[in-house]
């Protein structure tokens, strides 16, 4: 780890100012991703601004009738919050499917959005990687790419976004509230993370100095029919190879509205409104679910070691939709 100086911010504005003025400064929240990467010399900030004492610790109602999650609420406190369990069980389930109990106690809701890819070459400073060092090349495309993306890739990068929580936030149409040197703004979740394109060094659309203050969940939480199906190499404490978050609004066996978001397959949680629209007013049958899977995976491309993900994702989508449909409210 490089040496760095440390300051503890007491106010949001001070934190924003400190990181805006010093380009090599970074926020630290739970520390579970940034310290890991600093130990590997992938991140080398010259100053860490500790934001854990900022007053962004509340889960409260928002004006839209939904819930507002403070950026510094821990992943564990979010997952076990009575209102999250009651109204947004999908979110609770995705959080609990990720990492370990210890890490979820440390990790924050804001930090979770910024966690970086688990691409092995990104972590290995001895190998070329466009995300870590723009222009150096991508070691994964022709290398070992079992955990890599099958959708929305570019010739520059085929990394995935590893978060589970973000897959639910995408399905729920969450909104991220940020504050920066130019004031506050809201970012729709679909616009928060980006595809790699020619600039894989940027994971998201947040600008230098901007801090996430909270995450808004809309009123609709799909609490009756939902599921999170996470497929991975071991039953717990492993990242998703493929994951599917589903929220259904059913009228008997007819679908009023469907949300399907995929994790582990792209540089961002993968959603396709056209695919979801195929179910609108249709019966909740396997046959119709297969059409959704076809549409969601249209254009999917494997790179050798990860080609199995295409079929795996197809089956996982159908199975998750069946699971959500068959769920009975206790």
Ligand X SMILES: Cc1cc2nc3c(=O)[nH]c(=O)nc-3n(C[C@H](O)[C@H](O)[C@H](O)COP(=O)(O)OP(=O)(O)OC[C@H]3O[C@@H](n4cnc5c(N)ncnc54)[C@H](O)[C@@H]3O)c2cc1C
Q: Which residues form the interface with ligand X (CB under 6 A)?
A: 26-34, 36, 71, 75, 98-99, 103, 106-108, 110-112, 114-115, 162-165, 211-212, 239
User: Shortest Cβ distance from residue 49 to another protein (Å)?
Assistant: 11
Report the partner that residue 119 touches, choosing among ligand SF4, another protein, ligand X, none (CB closer than 5 to 8 A by kind).
ligand SF4
Measured from the Cβ of residue 315, the count of other Cβ atoms closer than 10 Å reads 15
Q: Which is nearer to ligand SF4, 90 or 158 (CB)?
A: 158
Helices (H), 119-185: 120-123, 165-171
Which listed residue (14, 57, 62, 105) binds another protein by CB under 8 A? 105
- List for the chain the helix, strand, coil content (%; round to 5): 30, 20, 50
Q: Helix or strand or coil: residue 144?
A: coil
- Residue bearing tokens 């406190």: 77
Measured from the Cβ of residue 17, the count of other Cβ atoms closer than 10 Å reads 15
Report the partner that residue 52 touches, choosing among ligand SF4, ligand X, another protein, none (CB closer than 5 to 8 A by kind).
another protein
Q: What is the CA radius of gyration of the chain?
A: 19
Between 286-296 and 308-326, two packed helices, what is the crossing angle to 10 degrees? 140
Residues 182-221 contacting ligand SF4, CB under 6 A: 200
DSSP 8-state assignment for residue 4: -
Site string for ligand SF4, 136-175 (x = CB under 6 A): --xxx----------------xxx----------------
Residue nearest to ligand X according to CB distances in the complex: 111
Q: Which is nearer to ligand SF4, 159 or 167 (CB)?
A: 159
b/e map of 84-96 (b: 16 or more CB within 10 Å)?
Answer: beebbbbbbbbbb
Site string for another protein, 3-32 (x = CB under 8 A): xxxx-x-------------------x--xx
User: Shortest Cβ distance from residue 13 to another protein (Å)?
Assistant: 21
User: Shortest Cβ distance from residue 83 to another protein (Å)?
Assistant: 17
DSSP-derived pairing of the beta strands 175-180 and 211-217: antiparallel
User: Shortest Cβ distance from residue 71 to another protein (Å)?
Assistant: 16
Helices (H), the chain: 12-21, 34-39, 75-79, 82-87, 89-96, 101-106, 109-114, 120-123, 165-171, 189-192, 273-277, 286-296, 308-326
User: Shortest Cβ distance from residue 324 to ligand X (Å)?
Assistant: 20
What span, in angstroms and rounded, lies between the C-alpha atoms of 14 and 4?
19
Please give the size of the binding site for another protein, defined by CB under 8 A.
28
Q: Which is nearer to ligand SF4, 66 or 200 (CB)?
A: 200
Query: Which residues of this chain interact with another protein, rule CB under 8 A?
Result: 1-6, 8, 28, 31-32, 35-36, 39, 48, 50, 52, 76, 80, 99-103, 105-106, 235-237
Query: Which residues of this chain interact with ligand SF4, rule CB under 6 A?
Result: 117, 119, 121-122, 129-131, 138-140, 157-159, 200
């Amino acid at each position: 780890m490089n040496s760095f100086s440390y300051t503890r911010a007491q106010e949001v504005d001070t934190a924003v100012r400190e990181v805006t003025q010093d380009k090599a400064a970074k926020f630290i929240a739970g520390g579970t991703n940034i310290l890991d990467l600093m130990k590997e010399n992938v991140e080398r900030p010259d100053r860490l601004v500790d934001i854990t004492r900022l007053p962004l610790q509340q889960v409260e109602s928002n004006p839209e009738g939904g819930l507002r999650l403070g950026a510094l609420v821990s992943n564990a406190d979010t997952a076990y919050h009575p209102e999250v369990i009651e109204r947004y069980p999908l979110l609770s389930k995705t959080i609990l499917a990720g990492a370990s109990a210890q890490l979820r106690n440390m990790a924050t809701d804001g930090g979770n959005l910024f966690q970086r890819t688990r691409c092995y070459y990104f972590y290995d400073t001895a190998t070329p990687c466009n995300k870590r060092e723009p222009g150096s090349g991508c070691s994964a495309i022709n290398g070992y790419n079992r955990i890599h993306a099958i959708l929305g890739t570019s010739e520059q990068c085929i990394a995935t976004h590893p978060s589970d929580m973000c897959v639910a936030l995408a399905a729920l149409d969450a909104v991220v509230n940020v504050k920066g040197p130019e004031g506050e703004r809201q970012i729709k979740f679909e616009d928060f993370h980006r595809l790699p394109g020619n600039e894989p060094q940027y994971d998201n659309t947040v600008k230098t100095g901007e801090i996430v203050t909270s995450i808004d969940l809309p009123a609709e939480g799909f609490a009756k029919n939902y599921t999170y199906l996470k497929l991975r190499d071991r039953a717990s404490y492993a990242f998703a190879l493929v994951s599917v978050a589903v929220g259904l609004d059913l009228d008997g066996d007819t679908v009023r509205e469907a949300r399907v978001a995929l994790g582990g397959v792209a540089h961002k949680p993968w959603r396709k409104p056209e695919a979801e629209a195929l179910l609108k007013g249709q019966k909740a049958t396997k046959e119709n679910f297969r059409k959704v899977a076809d549409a969601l995976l249209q254009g999917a491309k494997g790179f050798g070691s990860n080609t199995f993900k295409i079929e795996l994702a197809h089956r996982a989508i159908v199975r998750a939709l069946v699971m959500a449909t068959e769920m009975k409210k206790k």
